[in-house]
Structures are given as C-alpha cells and as structure tokens.
Structure 1
Amino acid sequence: MSKAAKKTLEEAIQSGNPELDLQDKQIMSLEELPGLLSLENITRLTLTHNRLTMVPPAIANLVNLEILNLFNNIIEELPTSISSLNKLRILNVGMNRLDALPRGFGSFPVLEVLDITYNNISEGDSLPGNFFMLESLRALYMGDNDFEVLSPEIRNFKNLQILCLRDNDLVTLPREVGELTRLRELHLQGNRLEVLPPEIGHLDLLGNRSCLRLDGNPWVPMIEDQLLLGPSHVMDMLRNESYKFVYQRHITTGSKPPPKNYDAKNRKISRKRDNA
C-alpha cells in the first residue's frame, strides 16, 4: 500500500468524510487498510485501478454504503455478504476476473446501477437464482462477457432504462426484452445475433435520449438491409407481419448459430490482459 492511501484513510477517519476515494493507490488487500471496514459512516467507496484480488466478507460492515466502485482490479470472486449492503445503489465491478456472481446476489433492495462489464460471466450457473429479482435496477451493463443466451426472467427488471449487452456471444434474445417498457437504451453490438424478437419493435428506443445499437452482428438479410437505412427502419420492420413470419421460421427451424467471431474474442482477451 502506498503512503498516499494510508494518508487518505487517516484523513477520512479524522474528518468523518463519508466519501472515500482510494483509486490508483497500489492496494493489494483491504487488510492493508486498518480501520477501513469499520467506517460505518462511509456512503461512497472508490477502489478503482488497484490490485485487489478479493473482497473480504467484512465489506458488509459498511452498512451505510451507497456507492461501491471496484472497477479495474483482479478480483476473482465476491463474498456472499456483499448482498447485505441494503443501502447500496451503485455497484461497479467491471474489468475484473469474475466468472460468477455470489449466491444471494439479487437481494439488494435498492440497487439501481450494476456494472459487470469486462469479466467472464455467462448465463447458467454464473448468475445466482435470485439475480433477476433486482427489480430496482435502472441500468445494467453486462458487455464484454461470455453470454450466449439471456434468461426470459429479464422481464422482471420493470424499471430498467439501460441494458448493455455489447460484445458477448449472444445467439438469441428472449421475447421478454419487449416487456421492458421503460427501456430507452439497448446495446447489442458485437454479438452473434441473426434475428430480433418482434416485440422489441414496440419499445421506445428512437427518442432524443434513446439509443439502439445493432452493428457487428450477422443479421439475416431482412434486418441487414434495413439497418443500412438506420435503426428506425429496423424498428418499423420488426412490427411488420412479413418479418414476424421470417422470425418465427428462423427460431422454429433451429438453424445453427454462427461461429464465434475470433477477432472479437481476441480484442476481449487483450483488454482483460491489460488488467493482469
């Protein structure tokens, strides 16, 4: 631990400052910071760009924590106790080495923003059973992981406004995404998608503050042609009966998904090596 980290912590303890910024302080373990995990007054803790390999269960002692930023460390696992942070609104664990989220992770009662980008998380056993109970979520960033499918339980995120799934291995998208009526941003670029559920055509993704990203997928010609004209043309097409027929035929024939894009994977691997 650097002297700067020690000084910053000492000043926070003395002043009672509820916001503690320890980014880029060469921290390898929170045990190096005596007293940190006893600061019950802390509401914001920033530990970005360090060398943390794990988060101790005692993180649960920070009972008033609202914002926890662990971006760009080398964390391989999160403790189950982290979900007992009942006041946590924003959690950023992007650019780490996570391949799963801990049991009970969906217990955060007021979590609004979750960022798990640049990890190795996938569907299946990687997500705990109650993950889709995070009904307070407004923004979910899951880009640069290893998702091939997404659970239909995504429908439970009724308050979701931003869903980022870019640069995964998605081969299909559940129809239930179309039930996220508050969604204003949908990022799907850099996957293996060939078709989109027609239900997405009814979402409000074309307003001034909206965003729909579809590039970098091996779309069927019908989508590819409309995408050349712009996202609005794709949205119009999704509501077309002709497209609904094409979509249904595509999913019922069980066509083999396109192979993984080697170049895209190489880019993802190189980014992860940057924080090794």
Structure 2
Amino acid sequence: MSKFKKYLDDLIEHKGTEMELIEKGIVNLTDVPNILTLRQLTRITLSHNKLSVLPAGIADLVNLEILTLFNNHLQELPITMSSLPKLRILNLGVNRLSSLPRGFGAFPVLEVLDLTYNNLDEKSLPANFFCLETLRGLFLSDNDFQGLPPEIGKLKNLQILVLRENDLISLPKEIGNLTRLRELHIQGNRLTVLPPELGNLDLVGTKQVFKGENNPWVPPIADQFQIGASHVFDYIRSDTYKYLYGRHVAAGSPPPPITNDKSKKISRKV
C-alpha cells in the first residue's frame, strides 16, 4: 500500500485542488498512485524530492495552474508538458536539465518560468522558446549561457529577467525591445560592455532593479557603476558611449576567461 494513499484519499474526499508533497523521497510519480487522474488539481508542489523524469501523462492535468518541481533530479521533460492549457507558473529550479524539449515554447498562458540552477545554455532552447509571449518572469540564473538569441526581444510582456551567474559575454541589442522590463539581473557574468539599446529601457527608480556587479566591465562603465545605476544608463545613452561601443565591437577582442568553476555543481551529477 502506498504511503501516500491516505493523503490522496483525503484529497479526493474533500475535492481538494492543491497537492503538496515536499521532501518525501519521491523518485517517480508512480510512487503517488493515480496522481495523473486528479484533474481537479490546480497546484502541485513536489519540491525537494528525487524525480528524474516526468511522465507524458502530466499533460492530462488540464486544470493545473502552478507546478513546482524545485530541487529534484530532472534531466529531461516530456514534450507533452507544454500543452497544459492553464499552467501559469512553472518552477524547475535546481534540477539537472541540459536541454528543453521540442515545442517547449507552446505553453498558452505561462507567466513565470524558473529554470534557475540547471545546465542550460543558448543551444538548449528549442526554436519556439521565445514564442512565450505571455511570460512576465524568466529566471535563468546559475546556468551556462554565453549569449542570448536576438529572439529574446519577442518576449514583449517580460517584466523580470534574471541572468545572474552565467557565462554571458554579450547581450543582444534586441534586449532593448523589452519595454515592460522592470528588473534585470546580470551579475557575475563575463560582460565588458552593454548594448546602447539597453538605454531604451526604464530600469532606474525605486520600483526598478538593475544589478550588474561582478562583471569585467570596460573602465568607463565600471566607473559609472561605482556611482550608481542611473549614471550607467545616462552614460550608455550618450553619443560618447555609442562611439566607444562601436569601436569595441569592431575590435573583436577575445572574451574574458571563464573564472567560475561549475564542474562541482550538484546539477552536474548523474
């Protein structure tokens, strides 16, 4: 008899819509009998377990709005997942993902996607990833991105973009198209310059967040960071900076070396 039988019986009896099984040692969803038949569920929290795969049948949970799989052992995701019609929040932080399945960008109403602390890079993203036009928050920190595709500019509703602790050596100019962005976190990368188009964004003020420390900035930008974020934006909007940026790009200097050893990340374990 499953150790979760009583919990599930109570859930069914009371027509519960939220399931929370945190730190229960769950290795496979078959450990939780009939979970994929509980179509009334709107929220599932399975954080701090040992899940390595998800069944394709996860797509049968058609009323699911919030799915939290934080801190598991997931190495891949089913292609069917993106057909969940009501999913708004998906937390896949602290797993072992090195790629996302084909068609992953097809979620119809996804608003928050957390992929923090995995093994993803720009080659991990399927072709339609940037079709997630409903996305408001995208969390990609502690991965292996060295660049971002220019298609990032398609995420017109994005308000929060977190890219902290990657290996980014540049940002595409299309980031300047994200006019609703109110938080940008790019700390701990290999960035030396910022595209002038970033100056199109409103990221300075009491309700905005712009973080860029721990990057090997060229001295003029580093000097502005010493004074404050507003000075960085004033500077990158200037003709002086646009000239410097153009010369920097034309020079084609090699990127700064990788200084952050990620080989011992728990996401690297198999």
Question: What letter corresponds to residue 265 of structure 1 in structure 2?
Answer: D
Match of 2:115 in 1: 116
Partner SS state of residue 264, structure 2 = helix
Which amino acid in 1 is paired with 2:196? Answer: P
Deviations 1:39-59 (A, max 9, x none): 111010000000111111010
| Secondary structure at 2:11 match in 1 | helix
Percent identity for Structure 1 against Structure 2: 57
Aligned residue runs from structure 1 range 1-276, under 5 A: 3=3, 5-124=4-123, 126-261=124-259, 264-266=260-262, 269-270=264-265, 272=267
Q: 1:184–1:210: 8 Å Cα contact kept in structure 2?
A: yes
Provide the secondary structure at the position in 1 that maps to 2:225: helix
Partner amino acid for 2:88? R
Q: Could you say what secondary structure the match of 1:150 adopts?
A: coil
Deviation at 1:7, TM superposition (A): 3.2
- Determine if contact 2:83/2:108 at 8 Å carries over to the other structure: no
Checking the alignment, whether the CA contact within 8 Å between 1:201 and 1:239 is kept in structure 2 is yes
Shift of 1:8: 2.5
CA distance in 2, matches of 1:245, 1:6: 67
Amino acid at match of 1:131: F
Q: Which amino acid aligns with 1:48?
A: S
Verify the 8 A CA contact 1:2 1:25 in the aligned structure 2: no
Tell me if the contact between 1:22 and 1:47 (Cα under 8 Å) persists in the aligned partners.
Answer: yes
Q: Counterpart amino acid of 2:16?
A: N
Contact 1:162 1:183 in 2 (8 A): yes
Check whether the contact 2:22–2:46 (CA below 8 A) recurs between aligned residues.
yes
Q: Which runs of 5+ in 2 are unaligned?
A: none
AA matched with 1:100: S
CA distance in structure 2 between the partners assigned to 1:215 and 1:206 by the alignment? 15
Runs of 4+ aligned residues of structure 1 deviating over 6 Å after TM superposition are none
Q: Distance in 2 between matches of 1:183 and 1:51?
A: 35
SS at match of 1:269: coil
- Amino acid of the structure 1 residue aligned with 2:41: I
Amino acid at match of 1:122: D
The answer (yes or no) to whether the contact 2:119–2:267 under 8 Å persists in 1 is no
AA aligned opposite 1:208 = T
- Greater helix share, 1 or 2? 1
Aligned partners of 1:189, 1:132: CA distance in 2, in Å? 23
Any idea what SS the aligned residue of 1:173 has? coil
TM-score, normalised with respect to structure 2: 0.96
SS at match of 2:250: helix
Q: Any conservation in 2 of the 1:184–1:211 contact (CA below 8 Å)?
A: yes
Displacement of 1:10? 2.5
Deviation string for 1:198-238 (max 9, x for gaps)? 11112111122210000010000010011011111101101
Decide whether the 8 Å contact of 2:2 with 2:31 is kept in 1. no
Q: Which runs of 5+ in 1 are unaligned?
A: none
The alignment's C-alpha RMSD in Å is 1.6
**For 2:249 and 2:2, how far apart are their aligned partners in 1?**
56
Deviation (angstroms), 1:160: 0.2
AA matched with 1:66? E
Give the aligned residue type for 1:90. Answer: I
How many residue pairs get aligned? The number is: 270
